[in-house]
Structure 1
Amino acid sequence: MPTTRTSDPGTDTLPRRDPGKKSSQGFLRRLNGSMSDPVLRILVVTTLISRVGRGVFLTVTVLYMTFVIGLSAGEAATVLGISSAVGVGTSYLGGRLADRLSARRLLFALMAFEGLALLCYPLAGDFISILIIASVVSAMGSASNATRMAIVARAFEGPARVDTRAILRTVTNLSIALGAAIAGVALLADSAAAYRIVMIGAGAVQLVGIIPVWNLPPRVDAPAPVLAAGVSDTDGRAHDGPPQRGRSPFRDRRYLFLTALSAVFGMQFGLAEVGVPLWVAHHTNAPTAVVSALLILNTVVVILFQIPLSRGTDDVQKSGKVVALAGVLMAGACIVYGLSAGVSVGTAIVLLLVAATAHAFAEVWSQAGTWGLSFEFANPLNPGAYQGMFAMGAGLGSMCAPFVVAGTALRFGLAGWAALAVMLLAAALGISAMARREARRAAEERPVDASTITALQG
Structure 2
Amino acid sequence: MLAIALVDRTGSGLWAAVSVLYFTYVTGLSVAQVGTLAAVSGAIGIAGAPLGGRIADRLPLTRVLMALQILRALASFALLTTDDYALLVAFCAVGSLGDRAANVLTKLYAARVAGKERVRYQAVNRTVANAGWALGGLAAAGALAIGTTTAYQWLLAGDALSFLGAALLTLRCGEPPSATRTVATSHDPVTTTKGATPWRDRTYLAYVATETVLFLDDAVFKVGLPLWIAHASDAPHGLAPLLLVLNNLIIVALQVPLARLGATSAAARALLLPLSAAFALGGVAMALSATGGTTTATLLLTAAAVAFTAAEMLHATVSWELSIALAPATAQGAYLGVHGLAQSAQRSIGPLAVTAAIAAGPVGWVLFGAVIAATCGFQHRVVRDRLNPSALSVLPVTVSEH
Partner of 1:415: 363
By how many angstroms is 1:174 displaced? Answer: 0.2
* Residue pair 2:207, 2:383 contacting (<8 A) in 1 also: no
* Residue pair 2:264, 2:390 contacting (<8 A) in 1 also: no
User: Quick one: structure 1 residues 223 and 260, their matched pair in 2 at CA, closer, same or farther if it must change by over 3 Å?
Assistant: closer
Q: Is residue 2:196 matched to residue 1:247?
A: yes
Q: Is residue 2:118 matched to residue 1:161?
A: yes
Per-residue CA deviations over 1:278-317 (Å, capped at 9, x if unaligned) read 0001111111100011001100110011000011413122
Query: What is the rounded CA distance, in whole Å, between the counterparts of 2:321 and 2:42 in structure 1?
Result: 24
* Residue pair 1:100, 1:222 contacting (<8 A) in 2 also: no
By how many angstroms is 1:119 displaced? Answer: 1.9
1:295 to 224, 239, 244: 244
Query: What is the rounded CA distance, in whole Å, between the counterparts of 1:183 and 1:295 in structure 2?
Result: 10
User: Quick one: structure 1 residues 346 and 255, their matched pair in 2 at CA, closer, same or farther if it must change by over 3 Å?
Assistant: same
By how many angstroms is 1:394 displaced? Answer: 1.4
By how many angstroms is 1:220 displaced? Answer: 4.2
1:279 to 189, 203, 228: 228
* Residue pair 2:217, 2:311 contacting (<8 A) in 1 also: no
Q: Is residue 2:380 matched to residue 1:432?
A: yes
Query: What is the rounded CA distance, in whole Å, between the counterparts of 2:191 and 2:385 in structure 1?
Result: 34
By how many angstroms is 1:116 displaced? Answer: 1.9
By how many angstroms is 1:219 displaced? Answer: 2.9
Partner of 2:400: none
Query: What is the rounded CA distance, in whole Å, between the counterparts of 1:225 and 1:61 in structure 2?
Result: 42
By how many angstroms is 1:442 displaced? Answer: 5.2
Per-residue CA deviations over 1:105-124 (Å, capped at 9, x if unaligned) read 10011111111211222223
Q: Is residue 2:156 matched to residue 1:208?
A: no
1:104 to 43, 49, 62: 62
Which amino acid in 2 is paired with 1:199?
A: L
- 3-state SS of the aligned residue for 1:296? helix
Q: Could you state the TM-score of these two structures normalised by the residue count of structure 1?
A: 0.82
- 3-state SS of the aligned residue for 2:262? coil
Partner of 1:39: none
Partner of 1:93: 51
Q: Is residue 2:308 matched to residue 1:359?
A: yes
* Residue pair 1:47, 1:171 contacting (<8 A) in 2 also: yes
Query: What is the rounded CA distance, in whole Å, between the counterparts of 1:392 and 1:436 in structure 2?
Result: 22
Partner of 1:61: 19
By how many angstroms is 1:91 displaced? Answer: 0.7
Query: What is the rounded CA distance, in whole Å, between the counterparts of 2:79 and 2:179 in structure 1?
Result: 34
Partner of 1:325: 274
* Residue pair 1:323, 1:370 contacting (<8 A) in 2 also: no
Query: What is the rounded CA distance, in whole Å, between the counterparts of 1:395 and 1:201 in structure 2?
Result: 24
Identity %: 29
* Residue pair 1:59, 1:183 contacting (<8 A) in 2 also: yes
By how many angstroms is 1:221 displaced? Answer: 5.2
* Bigger CA radius of gyration: 1
Per-residue CA deviations over 1:70-113 (Å, capped at 9, x if unaligned) read 11111111111111111111110000100011111100111111
- 3-state SS of the aligned residue for 1:100? coil
* Residue pair 1:55, 1:175 contacting (<8 A) in 2 also: yes
Per-residue CA deviations over 1:392-417 (Å, capped at 9, x if unaligned) read 1111122101111112x211111111
Structure 2 unaligned residues grouped into runs of 5+: 392-402
Query: What is the rounded CA distance, in whole Å, between the counterparts of 1:91 and 1:315 in structure 2?
Result: 25
Partner of 2:72: 114
Q: Could you state the TM-score of these two structures normalised by the residue count of structure 2?
A: 0.93
Which amino acid in 2 is paired with 1:147?
A: L
Count of equivalent residues: 391
User: Quick one: structure 1 residues 208 and 342, their matched pair in 2 at CA, closer, same or farther if it must change by over 3 Å?
Assistant: same
* Residue pair 1:180, 1:292 contacting (<8 A) in 2 also: yes
Query: What is the rounded CA distance, in whole Å, between the counterparts of 1:240 and 1:44 in structure 2?
Result: 38
Which amino acid in 1 is paired with 2:62?
A: R
Per-residue CA deviations over 1:200-234 (Å, capped at 9, x if unaligned) read 1221122112212112223345654537xxxxx77
Query: What is the rounded CA distance, in whole Å, between the counterparts of 1:306 and 1:242 in structure 2?
Result: 37
Partner of 1:398: 347
Partner of 2:324: 375
Structure 1 unaligned residues grouped into runs of 5+: 1-42, 228-232, 445-458
* Residue pair 1:183, 1:292 contacting (<8 A) in 2 also: yes
User: Quick one: structure 1 residues 96 and 82, their matched pair in 2 at CA, closer, same or farther if it must change by over 3 Å?
Assistant: same
* Residue pair 1:114, 1:140 contacting (<8 A) in 2 also: yes
By how many angstroms is 1:126 displaced? Answer: 2.6
Equivalent runs, 1:172-187 vs 2, <5 Å = 172-187=129-144
* Residue pair 2:180, 2:331 contacting (<8 A) in 1 also: no
Query: What is the rounded CA distance, in whole Å, between the counterparts of 1:332 and 1:180 in structure 2?
Result: 25
User: Quick one: structure 1 residues 193 and 218, their matched pair in 2 at CA, closer, same or farther if it must change by over 3 Å?
Assistant: closer
* Residue pair 1:320, 1:434 contacting (<8 A) in 2 also: no
* Residue pair 1:146, 1:388 contacting (<8 A) in 2 also: yes
Per-residue CA deviations over 1:230-270 (Å, capped at 9, x if unaligned) read xxx77xx6x55793231111111111111110111111211
User: Quick one: structure 1 residues 443 and 301, their matched pair in 2 at CA, closer, same or farther if it must change by over 3 Å?
Assistant: closer
Query: What is the rounded CA distance, in whole Å, between the counterparts of 1:218 and 1:271 in structure 2?
Result: 35
